[in-house]
Amino acid sequence: MNYFIVEDQQDARELIQKYMEIDFPQLKLYGTADKFSEALIAIQKLKPDLLLLDINLGRHSAFELLDQLQEGINGYSPLILFISAYVDSDTILKAFEYFPLRYITKPIDRKKMQISIDQAIHQFNLHSAPTKNKIPQRPFQMNKLRVLKIKSEVELLDLENILFLLSANEGQTTKIYCTTDLRLINSAKHLGYYKDILKEFKQFFTVSQSLIVNLNYLKSYSHATKTLWLHQYDEPLLASRRGGEDLKRWLCGE
């Protein structure tokens, strides 16, 4: 996977590049730009997989850049990570319309960068790379979940294969939806049991009292309707009011 950095401040641009080179040496830098016109020409030519975008680009914005890229390159759909000093709700909600992986606010936090790029790698592996060419992820992501099934059977699931967990049977059991053929596993344990286990894995997010989703599969989120769409699942999922606010903050790197 390759990436391109668009940032008009030299210090911030160099810091982003430094973090990427140190934490993700397996990824390839396609280039950097500090001006709108320069970024537009380079991205149209190179078509990088991931764009790390500052929103304020002088007289222009990253939103204008993405609009022109969409008009100029048919079918080009890069992964997007916004890194911006803007913290107002209007800008953040506008950014969500472009379905970014996350919206990180400045000053740049290295840990939040790591989580965001981990998510980008997962999305790239999921949709773009042949199995033999998958990009290795950081070791802490490779874990399994021990699931006690209804008939007292036990199954070990790769965390990366879990789409979401849904409370069932009036909160007494849990339905676990997996990416493998959209397989459904009925667990005898209640959702709170899994919430406690999964709390150390930041990709699993409680969006309501009855639903935990794997944000590595998040396709889009509408904060206005509290609606989530996941890759590999055709139905919308709903967040609670509080869960939606928490998800918005997470997507903004808070």
Q: Residue 171 domain-assigned?
A: yes
Domain boundary pick from 74, 99, 133: 133
Encoded tokens for 215: 């944000």
pLDDT of residue 140: 46
pLDDT of residue 130: 58
Verify that 147 and 173 share a domain, yes or no.
yes
CATH number of the domain residue 118 falls in:
3.40.50.2300
pLDDT of residue 159: 87
pLDDT of residue 32: 96
Q: At what angle do helices 62-72 and 36-46 cross, to 10 degrees?
A: 40
Distance CA 152, CA 124 (A): 36
The stretches in the chain having pLDDT less than 70 are 128-142, 253-254
Verify that 59 and 85 share a domain, yes or no.
yes
Q: Residue 239 domain-assigned?
A: yes
Q: pLDDT digit string (tens) for 169-181?
A: 999 999 999 987 7
Instruction: Please state, rounded to an integer, the average pLDDT across all residues of the chain.
Output: 88
Contact 109, 253 (CB under 8 A): yes
Verify that 123 and 87 share a domain, yes or no.
yes
Domain boundary pick from 133, 161, 190: 133
Domain boundary pick from 133, 162, 195: 133
Report angle CA 158, 159, 164 to the nearest 5 degrees: 125
Residue at 113: amino acid letter: M
Distance CA 13, CA 52 (A): 10
Distance CA 84, CA 253 (A): 11
pLDDT of residue 141: 47
Encoded tokens for 239: 């967040």
pLDDT of residue 134: 66
Q: pLDDT digit string (tens) for 140-161?
A: 444 788 888 877 788 888 888 8
Domain extent, residue 165, equals: 143-247
Q: Rg (Cα) of the chain, in Å, rounded?
A: 19
Verify that 125 and 229 share a domain, yes or no.
no
Burial class (CB in 10 A: 0-12, 13-18, 19+), 191: buried
Q: For residue 172, how far is the Cα from the chain centroid?
A: 30
Q: pLDDT digit string (tens) for 129-144?
A: 555 566 666 554 447 8
- Rounded to whole angstroms, what are the CA distances from 90 to 59, 68, 77, 84, 97? 18, 21, 24, 13, 11
Considering only the C-alpha atoms of the chain, give the largest distance between any 2 of them, rounded to a whole number of Å.
63
Distance CA 161, CA 131 (A): 14
Q: How many domains does the chain have?
A: 2
Encoded tokens for 106: 């400045």
Verify that 68 and 172 share a domain, yes or no.
no
Q: Residue 138 domain-assigned?
A: no
Encoded tokens for 139: 């070791």
